[in-house]
Amino acid sequence: MELRELFPVWNQLTESQRSELQNAAVLRRFKKGARLHGGSADCVGLLLVSSGVLRVFISSDEGREITLYRLFERDMCLFSASCMLHSIQFELYVEAQEDAEVYLIPPMTYKKLTSESLAAANYTNELMASRFSDVMFLLDQILNRSFDARLAALLLEESSIAQSNELHLTHDQIARHLGSAREVVTRMLRHFQAEGLAETGRGVVLIRDAARLERLAGAAQR
């Protein structure tokens, strides 16, 4: 997909701003599992998703991960341009959850754009607010929702992304999404299977009763 179709305020930019942005942005292709951004020392630029799904996550010193949010077509990641956001001081990682095509926009190009374009600056502020809202929602789930509700919500979210009740997920991948241990995920999936909610196999989780998972997930769903 062309950059002009993806960039949210393209029509509100001047011809010279469009030209500068078009010339600076580079379309890259990433295979599933590829790391696009590796922490605050890595400043690859802004990521604008043309196709595929990106996973944005943090990781503890012990290597335990938790997914903050996912990025889909037309979504942009600002935090991969950490050198442009000096007030952001935390380690955040981005990887391709599926094969993806992504425009990389150099940080200085985007910084110049937001200084010249009110529409681009307003969009950036709205995007920052939206992403912090995502993080606050996640914190609320961790503090106030049971693990079975969070797991149910994740399975339903993955089903929506895949457009299928057959999810190609390992217990380890689920644990990394939820910031938990694989053993905890395994025990809960066994419980789900005993209750007829889901069935597990090697690298596969099959949703058996989406309606009951919906009720269990409750407010843990976005």
pLDDT value at position 90? 63
Domain 3-142 sits in CATH at 2.60.120.10
Dihedral sign from CA coordinates of 17, 19, 20, 21: positive
Q: What is the pTM of this model?
A: 0.85
Q: What is the DSSP string of the chain?
A: --HHHHSTTGGGS-HHHHHHHHHH-EEEEE-TT-EEEESTT-B--EEEEEES-EEEEEE-TTS-EEEEEEE-TT-EESTTBGGG-TT--S--EEEESS-EEEEEE-HHHHHHHHHH-HHHHHHHHHHHHHHHHHHHHHHHHHHHS-HHHHHHHHHHHHHHHHTSSEE---HHHHHHHHT--HHHHHHHHHHHHHTTSEEEETTEEEES-HHHHHHHHGGG--
pLDDT value at position 135? 87
The residue ranges of every structural domain in the chain are 3-142, 145-220
pLDDT value at position 78? 82
Percent pLDDT > 70 in the chain is 92
Residues of the chain with pLDDT under 50: none
pLDDT value at position 40? 59
CATH 1.10.10.10 fits 145-220, yes or no: yes
